[in-house]
Structure 1
Amino acid sequence: MKFSEHWIREWVSVEYDSNIITEQLTMIGLKSLYIVKVNGVFISCIKKIINYTDNLKLCIINDGKQFWQVICSKNVTVGQKIAFAKIGTVLHKNLKIINKDFYGIESWGRFCKYSEINLIGVNDIILFPKDAPIGFDIGKLKNVIDIECLPNRSDCLSIRGIARELCAINNLTENHIINTVKNTSKFSYSINIEVPKYCPKLYSRVIESINVNTPTPWWIYKRLQISGIASVDIIVDIINYVMLELGQPINCYDLNNIKGNLTVRMAKNYENIKLLNGKNIKLKEDTLIIADEIGPLNIAGIIGSNRTKINKNTRNILLLSAFFTPSIIEGKASYYGLYTDFAYRYERGVDSEMQNIALERITNFLIGSGGGSAGNIINIEVKSYLPNKRIINLKFLHIKNLLGYHIKKNEIEDILNRLGFKIIKKNIKFWSIKIPSWRFDISITEDLIEELARIYGYNNLPNSNPKIQLTPYLNSESIITKDQIYSQLISRGYQEVITYSFISPKLHKYLQPNIYTPIINNPISKELSVMRSSLWPGLIKALIYNLNRQKTRIALFEIGLVFIGKNVENVKQVEKLGGIFTGNRYIGGWNLNNYKTEFVDIKGDIEVLIKLCGDFNSWKFKYAIHPALHSGKSAKILRKNKNVGWIGALNPTISYYFGLPFESFIFELDLAYLVKGKIPKFNNVSRFPEINRDLALLIKKDLSVSKVIDNIRSKAGKYLIELILFDVYADFYKGYNSIALRLTWQHPSRTLFDKEIEELVNNILISLKERYGIVSRH
């Protein structure tokens, strides 16, 4: 936000110059910059015009000190006030004014356009209001303090908000009073609110017989230019002025073009509105609008319609000053591509007690400048939907523990009072603090302590060396470290990525439609407006990024937090390991290029990690369907029969949506279950020989091999030391697959006899036949 020091001094009597003010604001968290002025451009008045040629005019102008002659090709008239740059002046982008000769007549300077001196307006000659002072140095319009306001400090998007901060720093009080306006008209307008939870407060007022053709006063024009807002007409300019001054946007309608009663409601799907900028858009059902009997007049908190905009024939206007719930505005400006000053403020939050004050302020200006009669202020308010009055308990000991410094109690109370916080109760241990309506960023005790540190001065807090406990940390041998997981995956060709915790709602709906995840109040953009409930969205975006750069073999993994839960209060944070793989299994090699990655390859990568924990037999892969995975290539990952992850090929519909050229495999599992290992126990190495038996079995295609293996283990006796699936012959027989397994037995203290092994093998075959109808293939 940009503003001049003169405007801020009307609200607070600061004795310091602009440089010190910017330094003070920066030190309390509002990064500020003092912009240097442009020299050599002055407001001048055209005194005489001589038609020199068909296209050129010789203009005699006065800059308050002397007369100058300027050749101009534009259509100007006597009495107009323009921006004049004399010879030698350097304008924006190093444009230097030089002496020019037009058919024997010299031009001693130039009439400047908006773009040439970096002001806001159409790219034409600047024409100032009639009351603009001749000889005024245009450079003073560029004596600007520019503040970078943090997303959570929308209370500082106004002159009044900045004034509050300066008052708190310098222990001053505001010296500005806003007067009420006496009603001289009985006219009002009926408004109905269908959705009070999104618009719990609305003030309205009618002003009749206003002169919209009144020129905008110079002092308003000047301040709008400094703040980067172009002058339009007296009504729009005053609305913008009050928005900058108080932070409250106000909607204005040409009353004669409203048909029937106004209603604040949700838009109907694909309802059409023609905007102020002439653009036609179709609305979504989740968009809040203000409409009359014909249709939408305003996208609430963003922009108005072309139908009721102010024009040169406007005489009667309706003003609306509303409080909209920020959540209903968030993301709408981004969705519709309408980045307005109104939306910027409403989606971050406006003061819920500023609506009446702003309406009185704008009425004062409008009647004082354009005349007219003001009607009664009509107030609609549903208190149950307004922001709750927050009260926070602040413990004295907590302040010392958090800041590491003892601030005196009387200083704490003084700072709180200066910031507008009201102490409603106190004792020797704590204060109960009522938070003002404009500070919606204050919600917990730590926020209050941060405010104390800001105003007390970070540079006034003493330096102290941290105390570090250097006692060695006891690590359990049963815990698998992340470094071990990193090493294994990297050795198998994966690369680590770190992705955003914020994702697109559409991407979340595709991949995790049945899981709730928190919605962000002030998102960076609509595409980053929900917290991730899985690592897959980030991994897929990273995959697409690499595919777009001609990479064909991509193996990525990430370890990070996911967030599950509908409400912020009960959000569960879970650390997970996720991975994605597409392309060839191996890098290079003339005989390996055609070996595409398959489900079993990714399953093998996970099994390598599982073996790190020393409890391999407690893990299983069980066929199951997941909306993000291929229905024929997906499985749950179980540990001790508890679902801890998923693995599979990406759903073809999702692959098609993202334009993925190759089949992609993804996996994800809870890291807590993977790192929790089992300490191995030493067994004596047997001196006796192993005995092997190979089994070739015919099994139904829809039967899980893991069930077969579990059945074999249960019948193979306690001396089975290894069971390996070493061959699969798919479609060996109609409806059957052939699998080959190798079983290995070894006794710790004697030699096993063939008779014992044959008995175990027979028991296995009998059990398989009885339970699954499996027969041995000879």
Structure 2
Amino acid sequence: MRAPISWLADHVDLPAGLSPRAIGDALVRVGLEVEKVESAAEGITGPIVVGRVLSFEAEEQKNGKTIRWCSVDVGESEPRGIVCGAANFAVGDLIVAVLPGATLPGGFEISARKTYGHVSDGMICSARELGIGEDHSGILVLDPDAAKPGDDALSVLGLDDAVLDIAITPDRGYCLSVRGLAREAGAALGVPFHDVTVTVPVIDGDAYPVTVSDSAGCDQFSARAVTGLDPAAVTPSFIANRLRAAGMRSISLTVDVTNYVMLETGQPLHAFDRARLAGELVVRRAEPGEKLTTLDGSVRVLDPDDLVVTDDSGAIALAGVMGGASTEIGTATTDVVLEAAHWDPASISRAVRRHKLPSEAAKRFERGVDPAIAAVALQRCVDLLVEYGGAAPAPGFTVVGDGPAVPSIPLSVELPATLSGLDISADTVRARLEQVGCLLDTAETSESAPADEQTDPAGRPVEAGTSRTRAGAHHHPVRTLSVRPPSWRPDLTDPVDLVEEVVRLEGYDRIPSTLPPSPAGTGLTEAQRVRRAISRALGSAGYVEVLSYPFVAPSVHDAFGLPADDPRRRAVRLVNPLSDAEPEMRTSLLPGLLANLARNVGRGNRDLALFETGLVYQQSSSGRAAPRPGVEHRPSDEQLAEIAAALPIQPRHAAVVFGGEVELAGWWGPGRPADFSDAVEAARVIARAARVRFEVRVGNVAPWHPGRCAELFLDGTSVGYAGELHPRVVAELGLPARTCAMELDLDKLPVPVPPVAPELSAFPPVLLDLALVVPLEVSAADLTETLRAGAGQLLESIRLFDVYADAARLGSGVKSLAFACKFRAPDRTLTVEDATLARDAAVAAAAQRFGARLRA
């Protein structure tokens, strides 16, 4: 809502010298959202005056354009010569003359310059050049009685008036009017408010015949009429200027007056050309298939839920939204029927969305319009048409329906203080509610208190000797107000709504900021510590953390090559997804990570190592839908248990993806692309952070490459997979060749016990290398575990450092795996013989399980 300060000043006594910014700040204090305070003349500086065209000469140029060489009186001793390309003015017209030295919006500086063979000593402006409209078809011609040559044009146009731009929340629909904003300004500044005052005629039903057949959709319909309107009457400048400042363009006197009254009072009005009406006005729901051509020229097929105004010809207006073209006010209209109705907000809201037809009227009806202002708005409109359009008010005033009832709300005068923590007296409560516009009635009730708890009505102790009604007890009144909210506040329905009104007028900034005492915390749980340690470890190892949306497309399961019975296909489907293309919740972190990888590669980032930790979502084992308990009371324990059982299973996973090189090329040598071993190493980074050790075995699961996939075990339980993705998956998702990935279920990792410092041996180790020849199908991980078990406790560490295969030297179908072994005894210096015995035991175990032999 844009409201000029001068218009507010018509309805509230603004203090002298108060700046527009201070007025905006005052409105903010009472809960309104003032987005900005601006001047309509923003970007305009220098001499801009009213001028009168004394004469002009039309001159046709070589390019076919006709210009006018004008003599313009600008209030100086001599007229100025100005070149103008417009032709919509005549001798004697008042125009806006921008003189040299002025600047127009956009930084357009005006100077005397030679053009079309003349020195143009200024410029004659259009509305668009002044930044006050979009009309550029001709120059701006002023009302002949608006001013005299030399007057300040900005003042004449109302551009020297500051404008408040206020965002109105849905519950404050009454503030979509100058009347409502002025009331708030009066309360905020503590100054008198002046409502719109008119003399309303007696209701007799003679203005125009009206029938309302749907009282639920329209509980009040009012009509007035005027006759003898001058079709050529011009909108007075003050109305046109205020409409322009409020963001509306001037159209014609009748339309402008209805818009002006709507902005002033908050009551939308509609004007029908009486000569084009056929029979009485009827308010009803639309018939199936019924059509209406609205004022924007569109033919709309109406819905049976639409409220319409009809006559004998059919629908002539979409109620509360837009009028029909068949009864539109035209250039020959002399007799007008004015309508002011109170429509059902929900019906109007549905119609706006159904027809995608927002309007200023609908915006107000959706939020609730004051049903008691209709008669005032109609009379105000009639008065303006009579004054400026030469019309005569037609006899009669038609009102059908009584409007909505306004129930009373009981309010304890102590409640505002109790809920807000402010010291708010009963008198303050009454005064603030009356400022809002409420009507008050006081009811007193009595409550007994024990003799040793003698208090006054405010709850304060009283002196001994207070009169009592019976032995051992006394009575004190508890005052309860019976509050009838004003007709323009349909949002006030409960006592807490009234408390909010009192508190906001007292000032939200006065509410004390008191934090509730917080219990001593227990710090992070061990599981939280482990999760943070894993993220830090991956980040320190060079992986970049990303956060992906948990929504996926069903097609990703096919892209991953998942079998039809794979549990990852049984995803939780959203009833109302953010995107129809991604209606499922993820069952793996890889889709989001791989999409991030592909997006980065597409933008030139080719060497990537990304990781993510987060929840995945699996269908509940119960298979039952969650119950939907009501809101009238707390759900029972049984209902809560059913809801919990129906929720998806949500384990926490960690995943890593690689693309490109993990070791970049440089002067030190060539780069090294990521391979499956890097994915396994990422799992080991997590294992070290979680203080566990994974067993690595050969795996075979989509979307990994069957020959380059490792399955990770912890105490015999599979916890995840790592390796190179299948080439078909890489091609399907547009990923770099040989992309690698790893994913673990972190919920399967045990909560680690507090770490214990290792015992450091003071004795030196014995270092021995061991090379074994084994069949090609034997994995290094299995062989490592066998050697570790066979060597016993003297083996401190074992590390694979070489893999070699050569059919000419080793034979076909075998390979050589070389290990670096470290042996150490905790209680003595280990001899080479002791270490050799332990090594031989390890070799014997490998020979027994895999047929391994020492490489010669």
Shared fold per TM-score greater than 0.5: yes
Does 1:379 find its partner at 2:428? no
Q: Which amino acid in 2 is paired with 1:466?
A: L
Specify whether residues 376 and 249 from structure 1 end up closer, same or farther in structure 2 by C-alpha distance, changes over 3 A only. same
Does 1:414 find its partner at 2:425? no
**Deviation larger for 294-303 or 438-447:** 438-447
Structure-1-length-normalised TM-score: 0.63
Q: Which amino acid in 2 is paired with 1:98?
A: S
The CA distance in 2 between the partners of 1:563 and 1:308, in whole Å, is: 54
Does 1:467 find its partner at 2:483? no
Report what 2:38 is aligned to: 35
- 8 Å Cα contact 1:495-1:556 kept in structure 2: no
Please give the per-residue CA displacement for 1:344-365, whole angstroms capped at 9, x wherever unaligned.
1111111121111111111111
Q: Matches of residues 360-379 of structure 1 in structure 2 within 5 Å? A: 360-370=379-389, 371-379=391-399
- 8 Å Cα contact 1:557-1:580 kept in structure 2: yes
Please give the per-residue CA displacement for 1:541-594, whole angstroms capped at 9, x wherever unaligned.
5826999999599998689xx99989987998978745999xxx9989997556
Selected match of 1:137 from 148, 153, 156: 153
Question: What's the % identity of the aligned pairs?
Answer: 24
Q: Which amino acid in 2 is paired with 1:4?
A: P
Selected match of 1:337 from 338, 349, 356: 356
Does 1:439 find its partner at 2:439? no
Q: Matches of residues 478-517 of structure 1 in structure 2 within 5 Å? A: none
The CA distance in 1 between the partners of 2:412 and 2:247, in whole Å, is: 44
- 8 Å Cα contact 1:90-1:97 kept in structure 2: yes
Q: Matches of residues 157-172 of structure 1 in structure 2 within 5 Å? A: 157-172=176-191
Please give the per-residue CA displacement for 1:482-512, whole angstroms capped at 9, x wherever unaligned.
x99xx9xxxxx9988699xxxxxxxxxxxxx
Unaligned 5+ segments in structure 2 are 445-477, 535-544, 552-572, 599-611, 619-624, 659-674, 677-699, 706-716, 718-732, 734-856
- Secondary structure, aligned partner of 1:350: coil
Q: Which amino acid in 2 is paired with 1:30?
A: L
Q: Matches of residues 32-431 of structure 1 in structure 2 within 5 Å? A: 32=34, 33-36=36-39, 37=41, 38-40=44-46, 41-53=48-60, 55-65=66-76, 67-75=79-87, 76-124=89-137, 125-134=139-148, 135-138=151-154, 140-141=158-159, 143-180=162-199, 188-370=207-389, 371-383=391-403, 386=404, 388-427=405-444, 428-431=478-481
The CA distance in 1 between the partners of 2:629 and 2:147, in whole Å, is: 59
Query: Alpha-carbon deviation of 1:178?
Result: 2.0
Q: Which amino acid in 1 is paired with 2:354?
A: Y
Unaligned 5+ segments in structure 1 are 488-492, 500-533, 597-607, 609-660, 662-778
Q: Which amino acid in 2 is paired with 1:62?
A: D
Query: Alpha-carbon deviation of 1:283?
Result: 1.9
Report what 2:3 is aligned to: 3
The CA distance in 2 between the partners of 1:566 and 1:64, in whole Å, is: 78
- Across the aligned residues of Structure 1 and Structure 2, the Cα RMSD in angstroms comes to 4.3
Specify whether residues 377 and 400 from structure 1 end up closer, same or farther in structure 2 by C-alpha distance, changes over 3 A only. same
The CA distance in 2 between the partners of 1:549 and 1:113, in whole Å, is: 57
Q: Which amino acid in 1 is paired with 2:395?
A: G
Please give the per-residue CA displacement for 1:594-648, whole angstroms capped at 9, x wherever unaligned.
699xxxxxxxxxxx9xxxxxxxxxxxxxxxxxxxxxxxxxxxxxxxxxxxxxxxx
Specify whether residues 417 and 187 from structure 1 end up closer, same or farther in structure 2 by C-alpha distance, changes over 3 A only. closer
The CA distance in 1 between the partners of 2:634 and 2:368, in whole Å, is: 24
Query: Alpha-carbon deviation of 1:96?
Result: 2.3
Specify whether residues 373 and 413 from structure 1 end up closer, same or farther in structure 2 by C-alpha distance, changes over 3 A only. closer
Query: Alpha-carbon deviation of 1:167?
Result: 2.0
Report what 1:449 is aligned to: 499
- Secondary structure, aligned partner of 2:106: helix
Q: Which amino acid in 2 is paired with 1:18?
A: P
- Secondary structure, aligned partner of 2:164: strand
Query: Alpha-carbon deviation of 1:228?
Result: 1.4
- 8 Å Cα contact 2:105-2:131 kept in structure 1: yes
The CA distance in 2 between the partners of 1:550 and 1:537, in whole Å, is: 25
**Deviation larger for 74-83 or 39-48:** 39-48
Query: Alpha-carbon deviation of 1:288?
Result: 1.1
Q: Which amino acid in 1 is paired with 2:281?
A: L
- 8 Å Cα contact 1:187-1:206 kept in structure 2: no
Please give the per-residue CA displacement for 1:512-562, whole angstroms capped at 9, x wherever unaligned.
xxxxxxxxxxxxxxxxxxxxxx95313655826999999599998689xx9
- Secondary structure, aligned partner of 2:325: coil
The CA distance in 1 between the partners of 2:630 and 2:378, in whole Å, is: 36
The CA distance in 1 between the partners of 2:306 and 2:185, in whole Å, is: 38
Specify whether residues 410 and 548 from structure 1 end up closer, same or farther in structure 2 by C-alpha distance, changes over 3 A only. same
The CA distance in 2 between the partners of 1:330 and 1:161, in whole Å, is: 22
Report what 2:454 is aligned to: none
- Secondary structure, aligned partner of 1:56: strand
Q: Which amino acid in 2 is paired with 1:179?
A: V
- 8 Å Cα contact 2:433-2:502 kept in structure 1: yes
Query: Alpha-carbon deviation of 1:65?
Result: 4.6
Q: Which amino acid in 2 is paired with 1:377?
A: F
Report what 1:13 is aligned to: 13
Query: Alpha-carbon deviation of 1:122?
Result: 2.5
Please give the per-residue CA displacement for 1:436-461, whole angstroms capped at 9, x wherever unaligned.
11112222222222211211122334
Query: Alpha-carbon deviation of 1:215?
Result: 0.9
The CA distance in 1 between the partners of 2:630 and 2:425, in whole Å, is: 38
Please give the per-residue CA displacement for 1:413-457, whole angstroms capped at 9, x wherever unaligned.
211111112221244343222111111222222222221121112
The CA distance in 2 between the partners of 1:2 and 1:580, in whole Å, is: 50
Query: Alpha-carbon deviation of 1:253?
Result: 0.5
Query: Alpha-carbon deviation of 1:86?
Result: 1.9
- Secondary structure, aligned partner of 1:450: helix
The CA distance in 2 between the partners of 1:155 and 1:563, in whole Å, is: 41
The CA distance in 2 between the partners of 1:571 and 1:382, in whole Å, is: 40
- 8 Å Cα contact 1:274-1:305 kept in structure 2: yes
Specify whether residues 568 and 279 from structure 1 end up closer, same or farther in structure 2 by C-alpha distance, changes over 3 A only. farther
Specify whether residues 565 and 121 from structure 1 end up closer, same or farther in structure 2 by C-alpha distance, changes over 3 A only. farther
The CA distance in 2 between the partners of 1:390 and 1:494, in whole Å, is: 56
The CA distance in 1 between the partners of 2:187 and 2:615, in whole Å, is: 51
The CA distance in 1 between the partners of 2:50 and 2:241, in whole Å, is: 12
The CA distance in 2 between the partners of 1:292 and 1:94, in whole Å, is: 53
Specify whether residues 586 and 405 from structure 1 end up closer, same or farther in structure 2 by C-alpha distance, changes over 3 A only. closer
* Aligned length in residues: 548
- 8 Å Cα contact 1:248-1:358 kept in structure 2: yes
Please give the per-residue CA displacement for 1:48-95, whole angstroms capped at 9, x wherever unaligned.
222233601012223345632211111121232333222232222222
The CA distance in 1 between the partners of 2:231 and 2:617, in whole Å, is: 61
- 8 Å Cα contact 1:92-1:115 kept in structure 2: no
Structure-2-length-normalised TM-score: 0.57
- Secondary structure, aligned partner of 1:430: strand
Q: Which amino acid in 2 is paired with 1:260?
A: G
- 8 Å Cα contact 2:204-2:398 kept in structure 1: no
Query: Alpha-carbon deviation of 1:305?
Result: 1.2
- 8 Å Cα contact 2:372-2:487 kept in structure 1: yes
